[in-house]
Amino acid sequence: MSLPAPAPFRNPRAEFNFIGRSCSITGVGSAVPERIMTNAELETLVDTTDEWITTRTGIRSRRIAAPDVFTSDLAALAATRALAKAGVSPEDVDLIIVATITPDMPFPATACIVQQKIGAWRAAAFDLEAACSGFIFGLEIGQQFIMSRTYETVLVIGAEKLSSIVNWQDRNTCVLFGDGAGAAVLQHRPDSHGLLTACLGADGRKAELLSMPGGGSRCPATTKSVADGLHFLRMDGKETFKNAVQAMHSAAKEALRRCALDITRIKLVIPHQANLRIINAVGERLGATAEQVFINLDRYGNTSAASVAIALDEAVETGRVQKGDLVLLVVFGAGLTWGAAVIEW
């Protein structure tokens, strides 16, 4: 079967892709730890209140993984669910990409550990690091392999155990983050345009805004680096906030422009779930209605690379995204990094 008659939007991939093969998401899945940490529980750990957290961030609870559950466990569970929904067996996966800032360990790649856990023996596997933007970076990389006919099936996973790098004594950051994973199976489907475009960006001049200084070659682990708290996530909240709104808005606008789409044509905007005020500001600037914008950060907080993947899975599961709908994903994270993608579901 060939692609349907020209759709009332522009498909930049079809125009510029001389190979002419589209890439669709054929299955999504997610996994979050069972344990729910409420704002009330955080009140017992740091000098904060449910009222402050709710009004400043929109977060009411987050999921926290048990000590013996690692990023790869959450990733493997999300991947297994996504593969089941796509009707694909693990042996058919050609490539596994895991986007994460909380790998099980610096090396080997968490993607290799996931490969072992799900039994995807034929797959190549690697990690990518674009912080909270990682899932869209993964989609874009994965779709290049599908488009070029290098691979038939690519598994893209965003997975985090942020509770392992959060300073539970720092009220500025510990209230914001949670653990979880989301996964997508990428394949060619002749009857769908799939991923229409992805705009990615980065600005290393602002790397200091959001980082974990310790543990790399610049600052290897020492007794002093641990005592100084260099192995915890650090953030300049206000500057990060401003940059997030600006970058997410312009990336989303550019993605829509490339597809000759007006925001009214988008069924659902799925933004990175970092702060309700950021989401609202981006939604307003884009002219999206409240119904068009997907929100689940009240239950999960910021799960970094897993955020839009979990949200996409929930949106599909609850019927808010259906076949043929146009979906706009938009993300922002440390690096700085950002991105937006338009998908025909």
Asked if 333 is part of the footprint of ligand COA (rule: CB under 6 A), the reply reads yes
Catalytic annotation on 302? yes
Asked if 273 is part of the footprint of ligand COA (rule: CB under 6 A), the reply reads no
Stretch that binds ligand COA, among 10-18, 154-162, 192-200, 238-246 (CB under 6 A): 238-246
Catalytic annotation on 132? yes
- In residues, how long is the chain? 345
Asked if 166 is part of the footprint of ligand COA (rule: CB under 6 A), the reply reads no
Catalytic annotation on 193? no
For 30, residues 6+ apart whose C-beta sits below 8 A from its C-beta are 78, 81, 180, 181, 182, 183, 306, 309, 310, 313, 314
Q: Which is nearer to ligand COA, 52 or 126 (CB)?
A: 52
Torsional sign, CA 324, 200, 138, 34:
negative
Asked if 56 is part of the footprint of ligand COA (rule: CB under 6 A), the reply reads yes
From 123, 147, 244, 326, residue interacting with ligand COA (rule: CB under 6 A) = 244
Report d(CA 270, CA 37) in Å as an integer: 24
Pairing between strand 326-333 and 268-271? parallel
* Residue whose beta carbon is closest to ligand COA: 237
Q: Which is nearer to ligand COA, 126 or 241 (CB)?
A: 241
Touching ligand COA, residues 61-120 (CB under 6 A): none
Q: Which is nearer to ligand COA, 48 or 144 (CB)?
A: 48
Stretch that binds ligand COA, among 45-53, 62-70, 77-85, 100-108 (CB under 6 A): 45-53
Asked if 237 is part of the footprint of ligand COA (rule: CB under 6 A), the reply reads yes
Q: Which is nearer to ligand COA, 238 or 323 (CB)?
A: 238
Q: Which is nearer to ligand COA, 22 or 240 (CB)?
A: 240
**Catalytic entry in 112, 132, 174, 259:** 132
Q: What angle separates helix 110-118 from helix 71-86, to the nearest 10 degrees? A: 50
Stretch that binds ligand COA, among 49-57, 225-233, 254-262, 289-297 (CB under 6 A): 49-57
Nearest in space to 309 (alpha carbons), one of 272, 269, 337, 254: 272
For 120, residues 6+ apart whose C-beta sits below 8 A from its C-beta are 90, 91, 93, 96, 114, 155
Asked if 241 is part of the footprint of ligand COA (rule: CB under 6 A), the reply reads yes
- 60 burial type by CB count under 10 A (0-12 exposed, 13-18 middle, 19+ buried): middle
Asked if 58 is part of the footprint of ligand COA (rule: CB under 6 A), the reply reads no
Q: Which is nearer to ligand COA, 118 or 329 (CB)?
A: 329
Nearest approach in angstroms of CB 40 to ligand COA is 13
From 145, 332, 338, 345, residue interacting with ligand COA (rule: CB under 6 A) = 332
From 10, 117, 171, 299, residue interacting with ligand COA (rule: CB under 6 A) = 171
The residues that touch ligand COA, with contacts defined as CB under 6 A, are: 48, 52-53, 56-57, 132, 171-172, 175, 235, 237-238, 240-241, 244, 274-275, 278, 302, 332-333
